Structure 1
Amino acid sequence: MLTNTEIVIRLTLAALMGSVVGLERERLLWAAGLRTHMLVSVGACLIMIVSAFGFGDVLGDSHVVLDPSRMAAQVVSGIGFLGAGTILLRGEVVRGLTTAASLWAVAAIGLAVGGGLYGAAVAATVIVLVILAGVKPIEEHFRERMQTRSLRFTAKQGAVSIDVLQQITGERFSRVRQFVARQSDPDVEEVTVSFVRLSRQSVAEIAARLRAHPGVVAVTGEEE
């Protein structure tokens, strides 16, 4: 049986580790921030302590058989309602999946601390923090390159054809996904060109070349 001092140490350590992950989420102003991650970690730790050591007074009975992992297992499934609450659908973009995953990971860290696996808990906290803070720039770099972008401009009737666009874009022409021209006035048409896996900087360079083309009236904007 754990002493009261050991219980307090485990709960405090779980709160500290949850706060480390929560601070990273708090920095991005997510609803599930510092306090939420601390509470999840402490709660999971306490459940693990109760599951492993809370039934010592009845284990001596020959007719009582307990599985100490059953209560702890409920944390893994029960944390899902908090994770679902952090996921938002904004138009066609799902936001909050990373925060939901961090809550799930913090719950696991709390279970590890409650079970006395301090080394595993510390290692997991460090790894989770590296994933959230360190891997994000790499993820954003690849997302930037893989994102579909659309460039809209107005041009004189027939001034910008597929062949002309190929000359303007050069080797980036292979990134063109769609070319749509709509006539707005008798002598002017609105053109939308969609690019796939092209960076914002590359699209800006193409827009600059379009502005310099004598047949282009104006480049009206870029859409993601």
Structure 2
Amino acid sequence: MANEWELVGRLAFSALLGSAIGYERERLAWVAGLRTHMLVCVGSTLIMIVSAYGFSDVLSERVTLDPSRMAAQVVSGIGFLGAGAILARGEIVRGLTTAASVWSVAGIGLAVGGGLYTPAVAATIIILIILAGIKPLERHFIGTHQRRELLVTAERDALSFDTLHDALGAGTTRIQQFVIRQKDSAPQLDDIVITFTRVTPVQFLALQKRLGAVPGVLQVKDPDAPAG
């Protein structure tokens, strides 16, 4: 059995690895950020330590334990945090990547708790590359021209996701982000940012016209459109 100070070191090392991934999520203002990832990583490490060493005093020829059982519960139980990361983004399904990072951090914590330091560090590096390094490549190769944004000014509460769905129909499935903020200069109005993904210019123009016809919508603006 590892000595107590080595186990404490595992917990501290786990917090360090979790913070690296958590910081990447924190800088993008996701709800599951630095502290959440650190807690998940340290908590799963502690559970792995308890699973591996916490019952050694009851072992005998007649009593055997399966150290993997508690670890398996971490893998399945982390789902509630993942669901929270997704649902916290509102009516649009977002946060799947953050939910996956929380689940992956739990795996890193289990690896550290089991003393598998090299795989834990390697997994941390790979996850950081996936989260921070591949995103620019994804944007480049998928094509940013397929991702378009509209700025909408509407009367207060005139445009919700339900009314948007009624107006756009099947076009609603192309929405990547739907953000409503109260207009600072006019509290009776809303500033709304709607981001569409994988739309052709013709489809984007049709969606823009449908939005402009919604009652209470005062202005629909394409920020990428040439001036004049």
TM over 0.5: yes
Between 13-22 and 131-140, the greater mean CA deviation after superposition? 131-140
> What's the counterpart of residue 12 of structure 2?
12
Provide the identity percentage: 63
**Structure 2 residue runs without a partner (length 5+):** 151-199, 207-211, 213-221
Counterpart of 1:30 in structure 2 is 30
Match of 2:40 in 1: 40
SS in 1 for 2:93: strand
Structure 1 runs (4+) deviating above 4 angstroms are: 177-180
Q: Cα–Cα, structure 1 residues 116 and 148, in superposed 2: closer, same or farther, change >3 Å?
A: same
How is 1:63-102 mapped onto 2 (pairs within 5 angstroms)?
A: 64-88=63-87, 90-91=90-91, 93-102=92-101
1:55 and 2:55 aligned: yes
Question: C-alpha separation between the residues in 1 aligned to 2:201 and 2:25?
Answer: 35
Measure the CA separation in 2 of the matches of 1:33 and 1:179.
37
Q: What is the CA RMSD across the aligned residues, in angstroms?
A: 2.6
**Superimposed CA distance per residue, residues 117-154 of structure 1 (whole angstroms, 9 cap, x where no aligned partner):** 1000000000011111111112233252434789xxxx
Give 2:164's aligned residue: none
TM-score, structure 2 length as denominator?
0.64
Give the secondary structure class of the aligned counterpart of 2:31: coil
Query: Partners in 2 of 1:129 and 1:37 — Cα distance?
Result: 13
Following the alignment from structure 1 to structure 2, what is the Cα–Cα distance between the partners of residues 66 and 56? Answer: 9
Query: Which deviates further from its counterpart, 132-141 or 104-113?
Result: 132-141
Name the structure where strand makes up a greater proportion of residues. 1
The answer as to 2:21 corresponding to 1:2 is no
Distance in 2 of aligned mates of 1:71 and 1:148:
46
Are residues 178 and 87 of structure 1, via their aligned partners in 2, closer, same or farther at CA, if it must alter by over 3 Å?
closer
Amino acid in structure 2 at the alignment position of 1:99: T
Task: Give the paired residue count.
Answer: 164
Structure 1 segments unaligned to the other structure (5+ residues): 151-173, 181-189, 191-199, 212-224
* Rounded Cα–Cα distance in structure 2 between residues aligned with 1:33 and 1:108: 17
TM-score, scaled relative to structure 1: 0.65
